[in-house]
Amino acid sequence: MNNFILKVVGIIFVGLAALGVALPVLPTTPFLLVAAGCFAKSSPYLHNKLLNSKLFGPLIRDWQEHRTIPKKSKRIALLSMVLAAAWSCYILNSMVLKIIVILLMLGPAIFVYRLPNSVEK
């Protein structure tokens, strides 16, 4: 049952990554990394298929081998975080909640910002 859930989650995240290729507001790379992680634990066949994909394989291999992401993915991820935090702060009335949102976004934003950029091929 656990393998089935991981496969379904992996497939959903591959679908989100595919949307991210077409829609600039969706970051492709993080979705692919989640999918690859799910497939690595549940389906060697799907994991290999994803790694050998011409479109998605290089992004995953860059992360697995060098812990790098493309500069464009980094920019989109950071912009998405800033926009989400700004929107949340706009709609929240409580200053305490606004501060919590900002603090919760800071850690992941710093992590993504500090990741090295992958070498363009």
Quick one: 76 and 59 in the same domain? no
pLDDT at 119 over 80: no
Quick one: 88 and 55 in the same domain? no
How many domains would you assign to the chain?
2
pLDDT attached to residue 106: 92
pLDDT > 70 fraction of the chain, expressed in percent and rounded? 96
Q: What are phi and psi of 41, to 5 degrees?
A: -90, -15
What is the pLDDT confidence band of residue 101, given thresholds at 50, 70 and 90?
Answer: very high
| In-domain check, residue 23 | yes
pLDDT attached to residue 7: 95
Asked whether 46 and 10 are in contact (CB, 8 A), the reply is: yes
pLDDT at 41 over 60: yes
| In-domain check, residue 37 | yes
pLDDT at 121 over 60: no
| CA–CA dist 99, 85 (Å, integer) | 10
pLDDT attached to residue 1: 64
- Average pLDDT over the chain, rounded to whole? 89
